[in-house]
Structure formats: C-alpha cells, structure tokens
Amino acid sequence: MATFSRQDDFVEQPGWFGKDMSVEEYHKLEQLSPDRKYEYIYGKVYMMSGGTVGHDRIRRNIESTLDRLLRSGPCAVFGVDVQVLLGTKRNGKAHYVFPDTTVSCNTADRRRDNTLIEAPRVVVEVLSPGTETKDRGVKFKAYQHCPTIQEIVLVNQYFPSVEVWQRNVEHPDNPHAWLRRLYYGPDAIVELTSLNIQLAMEDIYQGLTFEEEEEDNEG
C-alpha cells in the first residue's frame, strides 16, 4: 500500500508511475497534490505529464471542431482537465482518467458545477511516445469495459492518421468484437457514428504542416 507524508508540502515519488493504490489512497493523493493530475486504472496510479505543442494543437482542434458540430444537440464536449469515471459491468471496479477529449450526451454530466463525467460516449486520445503504450493497453481496456463508451478515437500526432474503435452492437460486452476503422491522409473524413457526425482531417490537423517538418529533418 502507498504511504503519504503528513507534511503540507507533498513531493511526488518518481516510482509511483503504475504504483498499486486503493481508491481511498488515490483520492488522498489528489487532495495532497491538487496541482497535478493522476489517473487511476486497474488499481494503479499514473501521474500525467505535459505534452508537445503539436499534441496540444491537435487536442484543441478536435475539441473546438466537436464543440462546433455538437453545439445544437444534446451532447457536450469536455477537455483534458475534466476527470472521467469509468465504471465496469464485469467487476464494478472504478477507473478515474483524463482523456484528451470526452463527449457525453448525459444531462447530469453537463451541470455547471460538475467535476466528474460519469457517462462518456466518445473518448479521444492524442498518442504520444511516452503514453501510447498505456493508451493502447490498460487505458484502452478500461475504456472498452465502460458500458457507456461507444467509440474510442486514437489520433497520431506525427502524421494524419486516426483510428476509431467502435463497440459492436451485436456483441456489446465482447472487447474482442469492437470494430476498427482507420482514416489516413490529409483529405480523409473521420466518421463518428455514435454521434452522427464527420470530422475533416484538415480540421483535426489545422495549423500543422507535416511536409515542411519532413523537409527540415532531411536538411
């Protein structure tokens, strides 16, 4: 079990990435270090780190595009600072995560004073070298076992490529039955069927010029 200092100045321990903790210990850690964000997945805590300019630009592009497309409907878009609770049907264990972008169509989630999204429908992760293993591994698994999530979106930050994983309506509880769609290239159109919307790749990667970066690297 993790232990916590009684001192007011709490110091993060480098070895705590993936450290076993109880839910109570996790919430205590959040209270002791409110200026940092931690994810709690399958009983382990992960401290979140900062991202690149490209990662932040893509995340903001996706958030603003989704907000524009969903503005007149019942769904709302939330950014990386809003915590999401992932419940599971199988064992009832709770996971607490911070997706890059979350969409919920639940009325309770849209309350102005709400601090925890409990019914996410779509989650988006912009992949980074330091987090891709977790995003495709334990976090992806936790997303699949959350009964309200219908689509998981994985976005490459180094070239225009987007994966959409969709829950199979015929086998909703089987994580191996999820359907994968890959969108590649600057002219592709990404479909989110659970929201009945389309995102243009040029909107997702607006402001980023991959060809110029490749030329600079060759030079």
Average pLDDT, the chain: 88
Most confident of 2-11, 43-52, 195-204: 195-204
The backbone torsions φ and ψ at residue 12, rounded to the nearest 5 degrees and listed phi first, read -65, 135
d(CA 115, CA 51): 23
79 class by beta-carbon count within 10 Å (0-12 exposed, 13-18 middle, 19+ buried): middle
Residues 6+ apart with CB under 8 A from 8: none
Secondary structure in 3-state letters for the chain: CCCCCCCCCCCCCHHHCCEECCHHHHHHHHHHCCCCCEEEECCEEEECCCCCHHHHHHHHHHHHHHHHHHCCCCCEEECCCCEEEECCCCCCCCEEECCCEEEECCCHHHCCCCCEECCEEEEEEEECCCCHHHHHCHHHHHHHCCCCCCEEEEEECCCCEEEEEECCCCCCCCHHHCEEEEEECCCCEEEECCCCEEEEHHHHCCCCCHHHHHHHHHC
* Other Cβ atoms within 10 Å of 2 Cβ, number: 14
CA distances from 41 to 23, 111, 140, 182 (A): 10, 25, 10, 26
The model's confidence at residue 130, banded by pLDDT at 50, 70 and 90, is confident
Per-residue pLDDT of 57-110, as tens digits, reads: 999 999 999 999 999 999 999 999 999 999 765 566 789 999 999 999 999 999
Residue whose token pair is 């089987």: 174
Please give the domain boundaries of the chain with CATH numbers for all domains. Answer: 14-47 (no CATH), 53-214 (3.90.1570.10)
d(CA 36, CA 55): 19
Among 21-35, 70-84, 118-132, 145-159, which is the least confidently predicted range? 21-35
Structure tokens at 7: 């001192």
Closest residue by Cα to residue 83 from 48, 107, 127: 48
- Report pLDDT for 89: 54
User: How large is the average pLDDT for residues 198-213?
Assistant: 88
- Strand pairing category for 83-86 and 116-117: parallel
Per-residue pLDDT of 142-168, as tens digits, reads: 999 999 999 999 999 999 999 999 999
